[in-house]
Amino acid sequence: MPLEWSGLSPDLLLVIDRDSGEPLRSQLERRLRDAIRTERLRVGERLPSSRELARVLGLSRGLVQDCYAQLQAEGYLVTRVGSATRVAAGAGVPAAPTAPAPEPPRLLADFRWGVPDLSGFPLADWLWATREAARTMPTAALDYGDPRGSAALREVVAGYLRRVRAADADPERTVVCSGYAQGLGLALHALARSGIRTVAYEDPGSPATISSAAAAAGLSAIPIPVDERGIDVQALAATSARAVVVTLAHQWPTGVALAPERRLALIEWARTRDAVVIEDDYDAEFRYDREPVGALQGLAADRVISLGTVSKSLAPALRIGWMLCPPALTESIIEHKRLNDRGAPTLDQLALATMIESGRFDRHLRRMRTTYAARRTALVAALAEHAPDVRVTGLAAGFHAVAHLPGQADEHDLVAAARTRSVGLYGMSACRAAHATRPAQLILGFGDVGERAVTAGIAAIGDLLTGR
Instruction: Quick: pLDDT tens for 257-281.
Output: 999 999 999 999 999 999 999 999 8
* Domain 1-98 and domain 109-114+363-466 have a common topology: no
Which one is predicted more confidently, 463 or 7? 463
Count the helix, strand and coil residues of the chain and give each as a percent rounded to the nearest 5.
45, 15, 40
Tell which CATH classification among 3.30.70.20, 1.10.10.10, 2.40.50.140, 3.40.50.2300 matches the domain 1-98. 1.10.10.10
pLDDT at 7 over 60: no
pLDDT at 4 over 50: no
Give the mean pLDDT of 150-163: 96
For 322, the 3-state DSSP assignment is strand
Say if CB 319 and CB 179 are below 8 A apart: yes
Instruction: Report the Cα–Cα distance between both ends of the chain, in Å, rounded.
Output: 50
pLDDT at 216 over 60: yes
pLDDT at 52 over 80: yes
Q: What is the pLDDT of residue 290?
A: 66
Cα distances from 78 to residues 56, 60, 70, in angstroms, run 22, 21, 11
Q: What is the pLDDT of residue 463?
A: 94
pLDDT at 98 over 80: no
Give the mean pLDDT of 172-195: 97
Q: What is the pLDDT of residue 337?
A: 95
> By mean pLDDT, which of 5-14, 125-134, 309-318, 382-391 is the weakest?
5-14
For residue range 391-429, list pLDDT tens digits in order: 999 998 889 999 999 878 899 999 999 999 999 999 999
Q: What is the pLDDT of residue 358?
A: 97
The percent of residues in the chain predicted with pLDDT above 70, rounded, is 96
DSSP class of residue 298 equals G
Q: What is the pLDDT of residue 91?
A: 79
User: Residues 6 or more apart from 247 whose CB is under 8 A from it?
Assistant: 202, 205, 279, 280, 281, 282
Q: What is the pLDDT of residue 265?
A: 98
- For the chain, what are the domain ranges? 1-98, 109-114+363-466, 121-358
Give the mean pLDDT of 320-334: 97
Say if CB 318 and CB 348 are below 8 A apart: yes
For residue range 18-30, list pLDDT tens digits in order: 888 899 999 999 9
Which CATH number is associated with domain 121-358?
3.40.640.10
Which one is predicted more confidently, 285 or 133? 133
Average per-residue pLDDT for the chain: 92
Class of domain 109-114+363-466: alpha beta
As a whole number of angstroms, the distance between CA 103 and CA 110 comes to: 16
pLDDT at 96 over 80: no
Give the mean pLDDT of 139-153: 94
Say if CB 324 and CB 301 are below 8 A apart: yes
pLDDT at 171 over 60: yes
Q: What is the pLDDT of residue 94?
A: 61
Neighbour count for residue 86 (Cβ, 10 Å): 18
In which band, very low, low, confident or very high, does the pLDDT at 442 lie, cut at 50, 70 and 90? very high
Give the mean pLDDT of 154-174: 96
